[in-house]
Chains A and B, each alone.
Chain A
Amino acid sequence: MVETKHLTCICCPMGCQISVDMEDGKVLKITGNTCKRGEIYAAKEVVSPTRVVTTTVKVDGGELPVVSVKTEKDIPKGKIFDVMSVVEEIHVKAPVAIGDVILPDVAGTGVNIVATKNIAKAG
């Protein structure tokens, strides 16, 4: 039986309303997207959704108490809170630079946590 899933594309702020026709877990047809990225997103979102997680990590001896970080690539949506509980425990020492790997392979995702802000040493 063909089942149609409706979703809002999140690849860009356009927010295209995409319809995905599926049968037996397989994608038959994708409509409503206005670019290739939307098609790729929709195909993935209905089967294995992923997200980039952004949060903060405690900094010791920095001019700010926390540094913003992100998962370098998107991770499975179901792993968001696993990532959060790992990241919550980390400390880094200042200075920190954008792109610094704060934690490799977070929560078994194979994806690194990297800094997204420069934090100088306090003082």
Chain B
Amino acid sequence: MYDVIIIGAGVTGCSIARELSRYKLRTLVLEKGEDVCTGTSKANSAIVHAGYDAVPGTLKAKLNRLGNEMMGEVADDLDVPFSRIGSFVVCLKNDDPKKLQALYERGLANGIKGLEIITDIDRLHEMEPNLSDDVVSALYAPTAGIICPFLLTIAMAENAYTNGVEFRFNEEVSSVSKEDDGSYVVRTAAGVYNTRTVVNAAGVYADAIHNMVSAKKLHITARKGEYCLLDHTAGGHVKHTIFVLPNEFGKGILVSPTIHGNLLLGPTAVDVDDKEATNTTGAGLTEVNTKCFRGVKNIPTREVITSFAGLRAHEDGDDFVIGEPEDAAGFFDAAGIESPGLTSAPAIGRTLAGEIAEKLKAVKNENFNGRRKGILDPKKLTLEERNELIRKNPAYGTIICRCESVTEGEIIDAITRPLGAKSLDGVKRRVRAGMGRCQGGFCSPRVMDLLKKYRNVPMTDITKSGGKSQIVFGYSKRSEEV
């Protein structure tokens, strides 16, 4: 009997798992993907929002502010790159400046610090030289930041795991049912699990999971957001995250540096029926590539290296759904987690873990260690330190991914560490091999070799992202056994 089963290993589920590992509880995370961070958490704006956007009094408003405040410490504890670069919401010539003022006031109501409306154009252009010439004023939020959503999720999962949380991958939950004694049975194709409590962190499928146990139905719509990612050469085009004021043409496309030095453009917002529809569309990519210019000029869109789409879990009530439904004690929702879900993740984790621990009368885990050391990045070392490292482990002397300068040592670490990478995408999310301008053209055969060697599986079992995403079908010569 588990104390807690968490359904979903996205940033929300992993944050809850980590926070729960502060207590003596037997916790299991069930994930339908082959790795953590394979759904909404892997395809979003990678922004830590300041918190002026949400309607005061909502869970979004509260958890955004809390999450933003917690992020610095969480990132530090977990060795995850995070930077408070600040954000602008720009008001253009034909926009209504009252809307900017309203946003500012909403921010004040939400308790957001440091907000400022800047109308001094010279100062704005000094802070952000590539702002569009149509910009007349902007709401500046210095506490906004950028983070790597992959590494945040992975780090939270690794830390939860080393503190005793179990993870099972490739297990899609098919049913959750309540027993007479108040405990739950969670079924997947691979197993049947008994648990005292359940956490529903199933992203766009959180409504389906919720509706298995509660008569108070949820309804989640998958809202597609398409993005374009530009090469490092474009990474410095803006220094802050630039939003435009929503107008009659919609919410607008943000332009932001990423924590790894790329430039991100997006997202679109289109509701889709298919919750697996993470495909980009011609119309979506065109929208990103045209609307991005509203707030920022001269974006070198030809430096695009990849485009992707993510699905936000939009609940009909337009707010996060957190906690126990009235008719399902012991079942905890973390549903409707759309933007600012990434920012709020630490706060959602802490809030829910607290509630669950109280319910289960859990005691503190004395051995909990909240510090996690990330994969060593040799680029941060001095020449001498780097040479010392290579002497000890020559794998750090071989570059596998040219574009992002990723060494063999880092990739081996990514594969062999706790909850290590099992696929090309898993390696990519951990150490960025294949994330650069050639998009794995050169390094993917080599990363495949390393996966084969360190996971000790045949090449035909190496996948891009688990499941049926195998990369090679066998040997080219018939004489070889496959």
Point out residues on A near B: beta carbons under 8 Å.
Answer: 56-58, 65-66, 88-91
Point out residues on B near A: beta carbons under 8 Å.
Answer: 475-480
17 A–B contacts, CB within 8 A, in A order: A56-B476, A56-B477, A57-B477, A58-B475, A58-B477, A58-B479, A58-B480, A65-B475, A66-B476, A66-B477, A88-B477, A88-B478, A88-B479, A89-B478, A89-B479, A90-B479, A91-B479
Q: Taking A66-B476, A88-B478 as given, write out 10 further A-B residue pairs in contact, using a Cβ cutoff of 8 Å, ordered by the A residue number.
A: A56-B477, A58-B475, A58-B477, A58-B479, A58-B480, A66-B477, A88-B477, A88-B479, A89-B478, A90-B479
**A58–B477 alpha-carbon span in the complex (Å):** 7
**A56–B477 alpha-carbon span in the complex (Å):** 8
Query: Which single residue of chain A is at the shortest CB-CB distance from B480?
Result: A58
Residues in chain B near residue A91, CB distance under 8 A: 479
Residues in chain A near residue B476, CB distance under 8 A: 56, 66
B142 → A minimal CB distance (Å): 56
**A57–B476 alpha-carbon span in the complex (Å):** 9
Residues in chain A near residue B477, CB distance under 8 A: 56-58, 66, 88
Query: Which single residue of chain A is at the shortest CB-CB distance from B477?
Result: A58
Residues in chain B near residue A90, CB distance under 8 A: 479
Query: Which single residue of chain B is at the shortest CB-CB distance from A85?
Result: B478
B306 → A minimal CB distance (Å): 31
B481 → A minimal CB distance (Å): 11
Residues in chain B near residue A88, CB distance under 8 A: 477-479
Residues in chain A near residue B479, CB distance under 8 A: 58, 88-91
Residues in chain A near residue B478, CB distance under 8 A: 88-89
**A39–B371 alpha-carbon span in the complex (Å):** 76
**A88–B477 alpha-carbon span in the complex (Å):** 5
A68 → B minimal CB distance (Å): 12
Residues in chain B near residue A58, CB distance under 8 A: 475, 477, 479-480
**A91–B478 alpha-carbon span in the complex (Å):** 10
**A65–B452 alpha-carbon span in the complex (Å):** 15
**A58–B476 alpha-carbon span in the complex (Å):** 9
B476 → A minimal CB distance (Å): 7
**A41–B355 alpha-carbon span in the complex (Å):** 83
**Which residue among B478, B479, B480 has the maximum number of chain A CB atoms within 10 Å of its CB?**
B479
Residues in chain A near residue B475, CB distance under 8 A: 58, 65
A63 → B minimal CB distance (Å): 13
B223 → A minimal CB distance (Å): 47
B398 → A minimal CB distance (Å): 16
**A56–B479 alpha-carbon span in the complex (Å):** 12
**A3–B476 alpha-carbon span in the complex (Å):** 42
**A2–B476 alpha-carbon span in the complex (Å):** 46
**Which residue among A56, A57, A88, A90 has the maximum number of chain B CB atoms within 10 Å of its CB?**
A88
Q: Identify the 7 closest CB pairs spanning chains A and B, nearest first.
A: A58-B477, A88-B478, A89-B479, A58-B479, A88-B477, A91-B479, A58-B480
**A88–B479 alpha-carbon span in the complex (Å):** 7
Residues in chain B near residue A56, CB distance under 8 A: 476-477
**A65–B449 alpha-carbon span in the complex (Å):** 13
Residues in chain B near residue A65, CB distance under 8 A: 475
Residues in chain A near residue B480, CB distance under 8 A: 58
**A66–B477 alpha-carbon span in the complex (Å):** 9
**A57–B478 alpha-carbon span in the complex (Å):** 10
**A91–B475 alpha-carbon span in the complex (Å):** 13
Residues in chain B near residue A66, CB distance under 8 A: 476-477
Residues in chain B near residue A57, CB distance under 8 A: 477
B452 → A minimal CB distance (Å): 12
Residues in chain B near residue A89, CB distance under 8 A: 478-479
**A89–B480 alpha-carbon span in the complex (Å):** 9
**A88–B358 alpha-carbon span in the complex (Å):** 67
**A90–B479 alpha-carbon span in the complex (Å):** 7
B28 → A minimal CB distance (Å): 41
A9 → B minimal CB distance (Å): 31
**Which residue among B476, B477, B479, B480 has the maximum number of chain A CB atoms within 10 Å of its CB?**
B477
B193 → A minimal CB distance (Å): 43
**A66–B479 alpha-carbon span in the complex (Å):** 12
Query: Which single residue of chain B is at the shortest CB-CB distance from A87?
Result: B477
A89 → B minimal CB distance (Å): 5
Query: Which single residue of chain B is at the shortest CB-CB distance from A59?
Result: B477
B379 → A minimal CB distance (Å): 31
B324 → A minimal CB distance (Å): 57
**A91–B481 alpha-carbon span in the complex (Å):** 13
Query: Which single residue of chain B is at the shortest CB-CB distance from A89?
Result: B479
B63 → A minimal CB distance (Å): 54
**A58–B480 alpha-carbon span in the complex (Å):** 8
**A59–B482 alpha-carbon span in the complex (Å):** 16
**A72–B477 alpha-carbon span in the complex (Å):** 21
**A88–B480 alpha-carbon span in the complex (Å):** 10
